[in-house]
Amino acid sequence: MKNPPSPFKPFDLTKYLDEKRELVNRSLLQIIDEKFTDYRLCDAMTYSLMAPGKRLRPVLCLAAAETVGTIDDDVITAACGIEMIHTYSLIHDDLPAMDNDNMRRGKPTCHIKFDVATAILTGDALLTLAFDIFSSRSLCSRKNRKLWLAVINAVSKAAGHRGMIEGQMRDMAAENNSLELDDLKKMHYLKTGALIEASVTTGALLGGGSMASIRHLETYASNIGLAFQVVDDILNVEGDPSKMGKATGTDQSRNKSTYPGLLGLTQSRQFASDLVNNALHAIKIFGNKANPLLALATYIIERKR
């Protein structure tokens, strides 16, 4: 006698990512149509923002909202603003005064396509536009006004001098210096993990999550944020530039402290796996509603770009 078919279907992450990326891209294009005009700065903003990317941070925002509640227009707006902030950080990170990269997301970087001054202003414009749409949404959303203030606070801390910017400063200062593991973790939490954590927190806040559920999601996010950077370091050593859309080997050429450099490739992979397992444990309480977050955590350590 055959076993009855299982009522549970495996989660299709590829389909989920495609759907959520399409939602984010449509919403970003709508913002571009409403906010941008036809001149050089807006051309550069569109070029950088709509370059093909993983959209990991906005997808995490949407998935966190689904885990505790539902996705609505506020959540979508927040996801778009977070992607603007992430794109701004990439534009500035690629500048000659920082990492001096020529390729990003498979295309010439903003300062190569346009010029350095335009790239600086493009990053500035995307950062401020994100808070423009955050604050505009909070003014017209009577129900979620207090939540939007919490979102603005969380995202500004993650993107600011106590978050991403401090992480970038530490990264530049660490060139030609050997960091201890704890210092490397701190640097990468600030540079990469803080905005990933804020993305998840934002989705959970606007999705109606309780404080207890938000704490579980923040634990998940802090672990996958660090795992993401560990994998980035590994891919910089052994990744395929054609798949990644950017050069590899740059960390070694700049004499940067990295996880493979400090731990070796094998131990770095194990460290990333341990972090993801910590993340998965933190969201067990949500059951099947956390399936997208569970799959995204696995995707982070299996990705090739």
Range(s) of the domain holding residue 274? 13-302
pLDDT of residue 6: 39
pLDDT of residue 280: 96
Instruction: State the pTM of this model.
Output: 0.91
CA distances from 6 to 3, 9, 52, 286, 287 (A): 8, 7, 37, 21, 17
pLDDT of residue 244: 58
pLDDT of residue 243: 63
Radius of gyration of the chain (CA): 19
Give one DSSP letter per residue of 76-109, joined into a string. HHHHHHHHHHHHHHHHHHTSTTTT--SEETTEE-
In a domain, 7, yes or no: no
In a domain, 255, yes or no: yes
pLDDT of residue 133: 95
In a domain, 4, yes or no: no
pLDDT of residue 151: 96
Distance between the two ends of the chain, CA-based, in angstroms?
45
In a domain, 6, yes or no: no
pLDDT, block means (10 residues), the chain with 305 residues: 46 95 97 92 97 95 97 96 98 95 93 98 98 90 86 97 95 88 94 96 97 97 95 87 68 82 93 96 96 95 82
Counting the structural domains of the chain, the total is 1
In a domain, 155, yes or no: yes
How far apart (Å, rounded) are the C-alpha atoms in residues 218 and 233? 23
pLDDT of residue 251: 76
Which of 241, 243, 212, 223 has the alpha carbon at shortest distance from 301? 223
In a domain, 5, yes or no: no
pLDDT of residue 303: 85
**Residue 45: which CATH number?**
1.10.600.10
